[in-house]
Structure 1
Amino acid sequence: MLKIAPASSTPNEINGFDEQAGEDAIQAAIGLRGLLRAEAEKGDVQRYPSQRVIDALTEADLWAVAVPKRLGGRGASATALTRMGAELAKGDPSVAWVSQIINGTTWVTSIGPDALQDEIFADGVPRIAGAFNPPGTATPVEGGYRVTGAWPYASAIRHTQWSQWGIKIVHPDGTEVPGNFCYIPTDQLVIENTWFVTGLQGTGSDTAVANDLFVPENRVVHAARSYNFVEPGKRNYGAASDYFAQMAFVHRTMTGTPLGAAEGLLAAVGETAKAKPMVGTIFARQIDSHVIVKEIGEAAIKIDAARLLIEDATGVIDAAALAMRVLTERERARNKAQANYAIQILGEAVHSLMNIAGSAAFNNANVAARYWRDFNMVARHFGNIPSVGHEVYGRSLMGVTPNAVPPFMY
């Protein structure tokens, strides 16, 4: 375990990641896989995780894995959080996604201004979720803003105490300032049931609505002073996690969910192939066919390669944070492309494995169906799309400007 610095750290007193805490979180996730599988159907039906699952993750302390210890988190690395997500996904990818959204958003809050941290973490580490697009409207008033907005894809919203939302500030003269965030207690919001989808059904990613709510100034993070902005005299600062590249961290760690779904599918298909007859052929079992064994081996090595790519990408983020170093534009472009390519080859492996599994695997009672549909949903998150990552890296290499994605988004 690396040494943890005092709570009143300064930028010159960097403290490292708690490697043991990260490993403990990964092992806890492995231990929960049976429960997650047992509760997954219930989560799908009600469209969000069961209370039994939420309580189990709470007891295992899996909601603030990367949040610094000064705030009550576990102080683990990006790589550890990603590995934990993969293990949860082998039980239920929807739960892994809920965990990632809360872990990621709560970490983002931990690098906000002192006044924000002081309020949000006053009574310990809360669970925080949110979304940024489409942005809500914030009208300046004395002491803060009146905020109105509707944010779809609000994963995990039913299981949080606070929520983080993208807003555009609209001044009386009509000028708009986009790219800001605000924090609202979740119980002040209205949740509209809009999450009726094929994959990740159990994430509760419904629409959260704010109707003319007052948000004080200290709960707003302005675009001009992003989360990585260090205000003069900042007290809540100095952990390794405070130096994570914000969007790179959030998007790389979420790859644990599709990785775990693919690894879970590989295990399920491999086990079935030991006994499943190969109808219409001379083979009594699928594994008697050299073609099937070859296809499983090829899918497995693609999944292994994807894990190497993903963990190398998170390792770069961890190393830069430990060195208190800002990733260059080229490093961020490559980091994104690398992880997006991992999603591409995971998709190839998943497609091949479902061909092996056959039509029976698409029955909702078959665990393979859950891995397949949930993988295909998360693989299409805007941060995971391979063609976008490839273009971002290509434009960076060729010096083509502007890049396809704004620099702060990768």
Structure 2
Amino acid sequence: METVTMLPRTELLRRAVELGPVLRANAQASEQRRRLSDEMLEALGGSGLLRMRVPRRYGGYESDMRTVTEVLAELARGDGSTAWTASVWLISSWMVGLFPDAVRDEVFADPDVRISGILSPGAVAMPTDGGYLVNGKWSFNTGAQQSDWNVNAAVRPTPDGQHEPVMVLIPMSDLQVIDDWHTAGMGASGSVTTVANDVFVPAERVLPIGPVIGGVHPLQQDPAAPMWRAPFMPIACTSVGATVYGLAIAARDAFLDRLPGRKITYTDYAEQSAAPLTHLQVAGAAIGVDEAGFHVLRTADLIDAKAVSGEPWSLDERARARLDLGAVCLRTKEVVDVLAGASGGSSLYTSVPIQRIERDIKALNLHAIMHPDTNFELYGRLTCGLPSNTQYL
């Protein structure tokens, strides 16, 4: 067991920047493979960035949310699927940090461990001697094939005949994988389906999810650590929103990289960069990128500030985290739509990054927790005085 000093944000960002060329070079091949390339995995693991949400006592960094957000956005500039997969691994590591010491000792024996996870309860955990028998399946299980553990949501029966949501921590070797990830976006994320058939899960590897969602973690083993002083949903929303924000920056980068020397066919513009339309498109994209950054970084900074002050989260603040995530997704999609539309017919080639960025953004805007309309409706509902219609706040 190794306690380390928290690495400064500048160092972790430097490592993320250094990964950029590897991610860009492997992005197309990874998409065709439908999971991250071995070179990407090796580079990501070697960077230590997956330790950002691992407890310090196990060699992790317990990085603050602003650092995590900026690092994930930088990874997304290289490849959206890599950043998305890393965000899932970081969120899941944070979740496992709430389990009892014996569980954490086992899982974090390797501080670079990869843990995937699903928050939607797709299985039933039935009590048995010493634990539970789990049966069910989880779709969209990002990075599962390249993970060591899965921490997934299930429901277990309660004495009053109802069901309680729980998180079950299962070694990947105990799960069946259905290789069904054939998609138009986020192709390299390997978000396959996993299946549990009568999988025994010891009682200590089952965690009630209600307190985690509510930000009251009775099993939190490091109460002095700021990293766990927040409800789950703002943390998750900010982590995945960072990938979307980074893709907006990537779209801007990709468009400007191809701009020199390009003309607008069937017009008198020998240089696309000379067209007033292009000037308006580039300026509008710059504003959209800034707006996306504002929304995701606002939530990240709020998480960090409240972690230090210990001030409780209001319902409005929790709903605003969902609102900010929806705004990040919407603004980024607008940016990418404009820049992809201005990239010309040659951008249809799979070797041109903007077409992959456009498909990745479209896929993320369809994610149930990220869909702008869903998040806007939720915030508006609460603002109008109606009760929440979701547990996921």
TM-score category, normalised to shorter length: over 0.9
Quick one: distance in 2 between partners of 1:338 and 1:102?
A: 22
CA contact (8 A) 1:245 1:326 kept: no
| Structure 2 gap segments, 5+ residues each | none
Q: How far did 1:230 drift?
A: 4.1
Quick one: distance in 1 between partners of 2:138 and 2:310?
A: 34
Which of 384, 392, 398 aligns to 2:384? It is: 398
Corresponding residue of 2:137: 150
Corresponding residue of 1:344: 330
Q: How far did 1:115 drift?
A: 4.5
Corresponding residue of 1:12: none
Distance 1:67 1:277, change over 3 A: same
The yes-or-no answer on 1:365 pairing with 2:351 is yes
Quick one: distance in 1 between partners of 2:177 and 2:103?
A: 24
Q: How far did 1:326 drift?
A: 2.6
SS at match of 1:255: helix
The yes-or-no answer on 1:131 pairing with 2:118 is yes
Corresponding residue of 1:298: 284
CA contact (8 A) 1:132 1:151 kept: no
Quick one: distance in 2 between partners of 1:263 and 1:309?
A: 14
Q: How far did 1:277 drift?
A: 0.8
Distance 1:170 1:265, change over 3 A: same
Structural mapping, 1:261-276, within 5 Å: 261-276=247-262
The yes-or-no answer on 1:27 pairing with 2:14 is yes
The yes-or-no answer on 1:353 pairing with 2:336 is no
Distance 1:24 1:258, change over 3 A: same
Distance 1:125 1:35, change over 3 A: closer
Quick one: distance in 2 between partners of 1:96 and 1:398?
A: 36
Quick one: distance in 2 between partners of 1:122 and 1:53?
A: 22
Quick one: distance in 1 between partners of 2:216 and 2:104?
A: 14
For residues 211-245 of structure 1, what are the alpha-carbon distances to aligned partners after superposition, in whole Å with 9 as ceiling and x for unaligned? 1111110000024554744438x643321101022
Which of 124, 141, 146 aligns to 2:128? It is: 141
Which of 70, 94, 98 aligns to 2:81? It is: 94
Corresponding residue of 1:325: 311
Q: Percent sequence identity over matched residues? A: 26
User: What letter is aligned with 2:199?
Assistant: L
User: What letter is aligned with 1:30?
Assistant: V
Q: How far did 1:358 drift?
A: 2.0
Corresponding residue of 2:90: 103
Structural mapping, 1:377-396, within 5 Å: 377-396=363-382
Corresponding residue of 1:55: 42
Which of 223, 239, 263 aligns to 1:237? It is: 223
Q: How far did 1:122 drift?
A: 4.4
Structural mapping, 1:198-209, within 5 Å: 198-209=184-195
Distance 1:283 1:378, change over 3 A: same
Q: How far did 1:339 drift?
A: 2.8
Corresponding residue of 2:169: 183
Aligned residue pairs, count: 390
Q: How far did 1:187 drift?
A: 1.3
SS at match of 1:357: coil
Quick one: distance in 2 between partners of 1:245 and 1:22?
A: 23
Q: How far did 1:106 drift?
A: 0.6
The yes-or-no answer on 1:311 pairing with 2:300 is no
Aligned-residue CA RMSD (Å): 2.1
Quick one: distance in 2 between partners of 1:75 and 1:152?
A: 29
Quick one: distance in 1 between partners of 2:18 and 2:270?
A: 35
For residues 277-330 of structure 1, what are the alpha-carbon distances to aligned partners after superposition, in whole Å with 9 as ceiling and x for unaligned? 111111101111111111111111111121122111111111111112331111
SS at match of 1:180: strand
The yes-or-no answer on 1:71 pairing with 2:58 is yes
Corresponding residue of 1:222: 208
SS at match of 2:338: helix
User: What letter is aligned with 2:390?
Assistant: V
| Structure 1 gap segments, 5+ residues each | 1-5, 8-16
CA contact (8 A) 1:252 1:314 kept: yes
For residues 95-132 of structure 1, what are the alpha-carbon distances to aligned partners after superposition, in whole Å with 9 as ceiling and x for unaligned? 11111110111111112344543443345452211213
Higher mean C-alpha deviation, range 194-203 or range 258-267: 258-267
User: What letter is aligned with 2:303?
Assistant: I
Structural mapping, 1:160-199, within 5 Å: 160-170=147-157, 175-199=161-185
Corresponding residue of 1:10: none
Q: TM-score, normalised by structure 2?
A: 0.93
For residues 160-179 of structure 1, what are the alpha-carbon distances to aligned partners after superposition, in whole Å with 9 as ceiling and x for unaligned? 211111111147x9934231
CA contact (8 A) 1:25 1:62 kept: yes
